[in-house]
Amino acid sequence: MRAEILLAALVLAGASATARAEPHPCSSDALARAPRLLALHADDNQSPAAEGGILLPLNGAVGEEVRLLPAIKALKGDGRFDVLEVDGFIYKATYRMRFIYAQIPGSCVLMGQEIIEISDPY
């Protein structure tokens, strides 16, 4: 009996680990949009980035990890939105960028985005 419970727990743990390892379909889109959002938020001092000619702030960088947050309810109707989070960095400041996508299979429809500095202003 205990062996069966242990086996079932291992199977469930393996299935959830496999599900977590698979990236969100819009992860690459969020990473592509992150430098532009960071540049929009930063000062006018910009230099060309190494990839694709996207302007990044001086000493600016975008993290490579995309975190999937819990889905949020749409403001109107019964729909839900996926929330992807990416970190950005300018000099000594760290920013949290969130990209909000509609849950439409096979497409990445950006519904909103936000950026906020991770700091204590007081």
Residue 17 lies in a domain: no
Residue 91 lies in a domain: yes
Residue 73 lies in a domain: yes
DSSP conformational letter for 105? T
pLDDT in tens, 16-64: 444 456 889 999 999 999 999 998 887 655 555 544 555 566 667 899 9
Residue 18 lies in a domain: no
pTM of the predicted model over 0.85: no
Residue 103 lies in a domain: yes
Residue given tokens 């230099």 in the structure block: 47
Residue 105 belongs to domain spanning: 24-117
Q: State the DSSP H helix or E strand holding residue 3, giving kind and residue range, or none if neither.
A: helix 2-21
Spatial separation of the C-alpha atoms in residues 88 and 94, rounded to whole Å: 6
Residue 122 lies in a domain: no
- Total structural domains within the chain: 1
